[in-house]
Structure 1
Amino acid sequence: MPSHFAPVSDEDAPAGDPFRAPGEWYRGNTHTHSTCSDGKLSVGQVADWYERHGYDFLCITDHNVVAPLDEAAGAGIVVIPGAEIGVAWPQAALAEVCAIGIREVRRKHVHPQEVIDDVLDQGGIPFISHPHMSGVYSSLMMDLEGLVGIEIFNAACQHSGRRGVSTTHWDDLLTCGRRVWGWACDDRHTDDEYPPPPGCLPYRDHAKGWIMVRAPRRSEEAILQAIRDGHFYSTTGPTIHDIRVEEGMIHVRCSEAKQITFASVPWTGTRVHAEPGGSLTEASVSTGAVGEPSRIMGTIANSANLGDHPRPKKMGSYFRVEIWDGEDGYAWSNPHWFGTASWTPDEA
């Protein structure tokens, strides 16, 4: 078959798999605004709110400024500096790069690649805020170097009716070989007294989406490194206890669910449903049902050969798990990466 498969290296294979990583689970919100921009609570007040609601860490990401964290110095949770930086992206509607682990905003309203470069230069983590809401089409993100991930669930957007789910963008990037992580977050702006505008869910950005990070200790450095490594999953409520691949099978354990979906590349993937009136807490499927290497190589060669002018193609080989509890609760794993398949006409 005229295709080539480059498997993930042994060094990179553990990325995206928090379930094999040492440490403990830490709950955190990576997108939070304070009175330093358009939030209703001060840094100290919002840190106190998340501490009282069982969070372990919080990222303060005000618009175009890194807020001073002095007010939260005595907080019982880890407070991480960051910013949500506006970018000039003519093809998008109104786009922003969320950056955590930075100490300053060096440039704003420039091309997102320049902002990403600034963030990486400081050792920070850049990801695209609410791409679906912002009109950031998948194709615009394909060539961004150093992009760590995107928000796949933004509570403030979703519960305002403003296109808060971006899992299709995520799958587009993964399918095209971009190994990026997916975040769920609150995008917190409001306080407990703020009346919701028409069409918005009350408390729409209050502990509605978060990530569970597996890290060796509860510190800014350890949490940020775990996020870089993809050692987390995203959720609006359900828990993912374990995902493992053994002898050609994928095994999942989770809190009670109605569906466990194994999402992958085009024309692959599967779903396990609970019996009527029942629930699931585990599921096992064959890797052959998702984007494992042999299936991907056949798919890519067949699609590239269509028509009179075959063109080179590249496709990521991956799967990710999505849990649905039957109501409003979803959880999303980061992708398990097998490698990358490619096809070029001169190999035929």
Structure 2
Amino acid sequence: MTKKGFAGEKGWYKGNLHCHTTESDGCLTPAEVVKLYQENGYQFLCISDHEKYADYTGQFNRKDFIMIPGAESSVNLVLPGEEVIRRNAEDPDKMTREDWLTQRNGFLAVKKTHHIHGIAGTQKMLKNASASYADIEDLPVFVYEKTWNGEQAAQKQIDEFCEHGCLVMYNHPLWSKVATEEYIHLKNVWAIEIYNHSTVLDSGLGVDTRDWDSILATGRQIYGVASDDNHNTKPIPDSCGGWVVVNAKELTTECITENLANGNFYASSGPEIYDWGIKDGIAYVRCSEAERINFICGGAVNAGFTVLKGQMGWKTEQERWEHREYMTYAEYPLNGQETYIRVECVDKNGKTAWTNALFL
């Protein structure tokens, strides 16, 4: 069996898909956020303010940096006893963005929430969509009192994003306090946020690969994204801690979006991945300096394998000596019982890079 983990395009482009500004609850203006990421070597950015779809491509795109339109919307279960005023006659579960912000900042306490990303899809997706967003558009908020069907509530927001031609990402599930069954069976979700830098710093609830694997184990492809979710309000900076690197032919909105849609990228909080895949039944990865490499597999109990530095069967003592402190390559012979495989490369600081999954 031979499968390539990446498509083999010539370019590698680093970007953050989850970012907030003064247009919602961030501290930096859109222009300031763009400047920050440009100065830190990023090639693309999605400003995804709460309940506010924004297309900044005309304002900030340049030859070496592009914007991806998007928004983050919430679906909320508020605590019992909180009175919610709704002004949407067509859908009683919706509030306007203005009303939600007023009450949320004033007295509403949220028990559970789905934070769901809509990222502008490919040209084909947008063309075939039944609706479209304006360049800047406030989005309604779903609000439920006392009780909800969590899965159905989230699916309504996902369906709205899909109707507008968006890729849909489910954000920071651990932080959101939702039960696993309230979101792992959702339909038309392109990606799950497996690393959220802001909530790692806030509460230690920003890393979640278990539910990612639970979804993959059902046979459904879903991609893993690392992002910042930066608000730039913290004593510890919450920018430039989680990102994706897209393998694409060129730096254009269409090329980046298309390769995101196809899973031709990896996620990272530090290490780099240069190549990975399966060749003649052996899974392999080439990466920057790593202390451990995990081959995570679906299938039977104890499927997969971890390689620690110094464990690879190097052919010579010289090779073993050169890799005594770290490794840049590892492999794992498949036994034929795996249903999927993905790879994690962990450096000496505990920072991780994640491939997407290959189904076998």
TM class by smaller structure: 0.7 to 0.9
Q: Report the CA distance shift for 1:56/1:70 in structure 2 as closer, same or farther (over 3 A).
A: closer
Q: Report the CA distance shift for 1:92/1:267 in structure 2 as closer, same or farther (over 3 A).
A: farther
Matching residue of 1:304: none
Out of 144, 149, 168, the residue aligned to residue 126 of structure 1 is: 168
Out of 61, 67, 86, the residue aligned to residue 79 of structure 1 is: 67
TM-score after normalising by structure 2: 0.75
**Shift in Å at residue 221 of structure 1?**
1.5
Q: Is 1:179 paired with 2:179?
A: no
Distance between the aligned counterparts of 1:35 and 1:96, measured in 2?
Answer: 18
Matching of residues 27-46 of structure 1 within 5 Å: 27-46=14-33
**Shift in Å at residue 214 of structure 1?**
0.9
Matching residue of 2:113: 94
Which secondary structure state, in structure 1, belongs to the residue aligned with residue 49 of structure 2?
strand
Q: Is 1:147 paired with 2:194?
A: no
Matching residue of 1:341: none
TM-score after normalising by structure 1: 0.77
**Aligned residues: CA RMSD:** 2.5
Out of 237, 253, 259, the residue aligned to residue 286 of structure 2 is: 253
**Shift in Å at residue 120 of structure 1?**
1.7
Matching of residues 1-40 of structure 1 within 5 Å: 17=5, 19-40=6-27
State the identity as a percent. Answer: 32
Distance between the aligned counterparts of 1:80 and 1:148, measured in 2?
Answer: 16
Q: Is 1:57 paired with 2:39?
A: no
Out of 325, 343, 347, the residue aligned to residue 321 of structure 1 is: 343
- Please tell me the residue identity of whatever aligns with 2:44: F
Query: Deviation string for 1:270-312 (max 9, x for gaps)?
Result: 1000029521110111112xxx4xx25xxxxxxxxxxxxxxxx
**Shift in Å at residue 48 of structure 1?**
1.0
Q: Report the CA distance shift for 1:100/1:114 in structure 2 as closer, same or farther (over 3 A).
A: same
Query: Deviation string for 1:77-130 (max 9, x for gaps)?
Result: 211221110014699822210111173565431622122122122221111110
Q: Report the CA distance shift for 1:178/1:255 in structure 2 as closer, same or farther (over 3 A).
A: same
Query: Deviation string for 1:206-233 (max 9, x for gaps)?
Result: 2001000011221112111111100100
Distance between the aligned counterparts of 1:269 and 1:329, measured in 2?
Answer: 20
Distance between the aligned counterparts of 2:65 and 2:222, measured in 1?
Answer: 27
Query: Deviation string for 1:151-179 (max 9, x for gaps)?
Result: 00000001122410011110111112221
Matching residue of 2:158: 116
Out of 276, 280, 305, the residue aligned to residue 270 of structure 1 is: 305
Q: Report the CA distance shift for 1:27/1:208 in structure 2 as closer, same or farther (over 3 A).
A: same
Which secondary structure state, in structure 2, belongs to the residue aligned with residue 328 of structure 1?
coil
- Please tell me the residue identity of whatever aligns with 1:231: N
Matching residue of 2:92: none
CA contact (8 A) 1:107 1:118 kept: no
Matching residue of 1:314: none
CA contact (8 A) 1:252 1:282 kept: yes
Which secondary structure state, in structure 2, belongs to the residue aligned with residue 156 of structure 1?
helix
Distance between the aligned counterparts of 1:28 and 1:59, measured in 2?
Answer: 8
Larger mean Cα displacement after TM superposition, 258-267 or 55-64: 258-267
Runs of 5+ consecutive residues of structure 1 not aligned to the other structure = 1-6, 197-201, 297-316, 339-348
Larger mean Cα displacement after TM superposition, 206-215 or 20-29: 20-29
Distance between the aligned counterparts of 1:271 and 1:122, measured in 2?
Answer: 42
Runs of 5+ consecutive residues of structure 2 not aligned to the other structure = 79-109, 122-132, 144-152, 312-323
Matching residue of 1:138: 180
Q: Report the CA distance shift for 1:116/1:23 in structure 2 as closer, same or farther (over 3 A).
A: farther
- Please tell me the residue identity of whatever aligns with 1:87: V
Distance between the aligned counterparts of 1:132 and 1:47, measured in 2?
Answer: 28
Distance between the aligned counterparts of 2:180 and 2:267, measured in 1?
Answer: 20
